[in-house]
Amino acid sequence: MKKYQLGEFEEVVILTIGILNNQAYSVSIKDEIESRLSRTVSFGALHTALKRLEEKGYLRSYAGESTEERAGRPRQYFEITAMGKKAMLYAKETRDELWKAIPKTVLQTNLLS
């Protein structure tokens, strides 16, 4: 399989877009990450990751309908492309293989310590 590069935060972002499915726009992505991971996310970092993922061909953005609450501006939604799905699966398979390679003794906790 071709190697697909995902940074740690990019992986979190693309997984979150998958969770949100057709409701993935910047505020919903930020809120979902913060809620699920108890992790503060800046809009700057999020927009940088979204732009990188789109440039890599892993995401596609599209404009939603205009709303009055946004002064007529449409929300920008994100969806995962076929290549993005391959990158997600590659990241999961890679992590699974690494986890399987760790000897069980490494993960055992010593109650006497």
> Is residue 95 included in any domain, yes or no?
yes
pLDDT of residue 49: 97
- Domain span at residue 52? 8-107
Calculate mean pLDDT across residues 19-43: 96
> Is residue 91 included in any domain, yes or no?
yes
Provide the number of structural domains found in the chain.
1
Q: What is the CATH number of the domain that holds 86?
A: 1.10.10.10
Distances (CA, A) of 40 to 20, 44, 49: 18, 12, 15
Calculate mean pLDDT across residues 91-104: 93
> 42 pLDDT band (50/70/90 cuts)?
very high
How far apart CA 102 and CA 46 sit, in angstroms, is 32
Tell me the per-residue pLDDT of 44-91, one tens digit each, with 9 for 90 and over.
999 999 999 999 999 999 998 777 776 778 899 999 999 999 999 999
Q: Is the pLDDT of residue 1 over 60?
A: no
How far apart CA 35 and CA 104 sit, in angstroms, is 31
> 93 pLDDT band (50/70/90 cuts)?
very high
> Is residue 112 included in any domain, yes or no?
no
pLDDT of residue 113: 55
> Is residue 67 included in any domain, yes or no?
yes
> Is residue 20 included in any domain, yes or no?
yes
Q: Do residues 78 and 49 touch, judged by C-beta distance below 8 A?
A: no
How do strand 59-66 and strand 74-80 relate by DSSP bridges? antiparallel
Type of residue numbered 62: Y
> Is residue 31 included in any domain, yes or no?
yes
> Is residue 3 included in any domain, yes or no?
no
